[in-house]
Amino acid sequence: MTRKKAIAWAVVLILAVALVGTVARSQLAAPVAVARSEILPVAYTAGVELLDPGAEAWAKVTPIQVPLSGMEIKGEWPIQLIPAIQVQALRDDGWLYLRLTWTDATQNDAVTGINAFLDAVAVQLPITSTEQPYVCMGQQNSPVHIVYWRAGSEQPESLAAGSFGALTPLPGVEVRARGLYQGNGWQVVLARPLRGPEAGNDPKAGMLPAQTSVAFAVWDGADQQRGGRKATSNWLTLSLQGVKEGTAVAPGEGAVKQ
C-alpha cells in the first residue's frame, strides 16, 4: 500500500468513527422525531416493562420537546440552564410513566465534596386535579404532588408542596424511577399511580382525570444547581385518553401502535 493510500484509509476510518459516535449521541438526544406541543398525550400499553428507559415501547412514542427557563430567585447567581427536555408518556392499568430525556455533558451521580451536587429531575401534578396551581410548587389552597429523582439513586421521593420552599414528604404514595446516562445526557423514567394522593382509602376516588396539568424541573449538578436553582417548564396539559375521574382505566384505549 502506498503512503497516499494509507493516509486516505486513515481519514476514512476517522470519519467513520466520528459518524458512529454522532449517531449514538443523536439516539439519546432524539429517540424519534420530536414534536412541539402544549399537550402531552398518554398512550396505553400493557404487558411490557415501562420503567426501563431503554424499553422498546418508548421507541413508538413521539417525544414532546418542552422548553425550560430559570427561576428568578433573589440572591441566586447566574446559572447555566438546560434549555429543553424531551418528554414521553405511557400508562398501563395502574401507573403513569414519564420518560424524560435531556442533554448534559457531565454525569453528576456522586457527591465527592462540599461543592459537588447531583443531576436531578422532577415532575409535578396538581393534587386537586380540578384546579391549576401556581406552577412554582403550587399554593396553600391548591397543592402539588412532586416525584423527585436524583442521579445515583433509583429511589425517588414522593413530595407535596403548597408554596415555594414548602416541600414535605407525602407518605403512602408509592413512586418509582430508573435513570440511565449514555453518551451525552440522561434518560430517566418517573412513575406514579394513576390514582392520585387525594384518593385516600376510597378505591373509586382520586383517579387522574382525562386531562390534567403537568410540569417539569431539571437540575445540573455540574453548575451546583439545587433547591430553587434549576430549570423549569410551564404547565402542559397531560391527556390520558379514555380515563375519567373516579373510573378505572379502559385497557386498550389510546393504545401504542404496534
**Is 80 found in the same domain as 7?**
no
DSSP string, 96-113: EEEEEEEE-SS---S--S
* CA separation for the pair 252, 237 (Å, rounded): 21
pLDDT tens per residue across span 204-218: 556 788 899 999 999
Task: Centre a 10 Å sphere on the Cβ of residue 163 and count the other Cβ atoms it contains.
Answer: 15
Q: What is the pLDDT of residue 165?
A: 62
**Is 74 found in the same domain as 21?**
no
Number of domains in the chain: 2
Q: What is the pLDDT of residue 111?
A: 82
Higher pLDDT pick, 126 / 24: 126
Name the region of 6 (left: φ>0; alpha: ψ -120 to 50; beta: rest). alpha
**Is 138 found in the same domain as 26?**
no
* CA separation for the pair 216, 66 (Å, rounded): 9
248: in domain:
no
Q: The domain spanning residue 155 has which CATH number?
A: 2.60.40.1190
Q: What is the pLDDT of residue 8?
A: 46
**Is 7 found in the same domain as 37?**
no
**Is 130 found in the same domain as 77?**
yes
70: in domain:
yes
Q: Which of 68, 102, 80 is nearest to 216 (CA)?
A: 68
**Is 191 found in the same domain as 63?**
yes
**Is 19 found in the same domain as 120?**
no
pLDDT tens per residue across span 31-62: 446 777 899 999 999 889 999 999 999 999 99
**Is 138 found in the same domain as 70?**
yes
Quick one: 189 exposed, middle or buried, by C-beta within 10 A (0-12, 13-18, 19+)? Answer: buried
129: in domain:
yes
Strand-pair partners of 35 = 64
Range of the domain at 131: 32-240
Secondary structure class of 41 (helix, strand, coil) = strand
Asked whether residue 66 carries a pLDDT value surpassing 90, the answer given is: yes
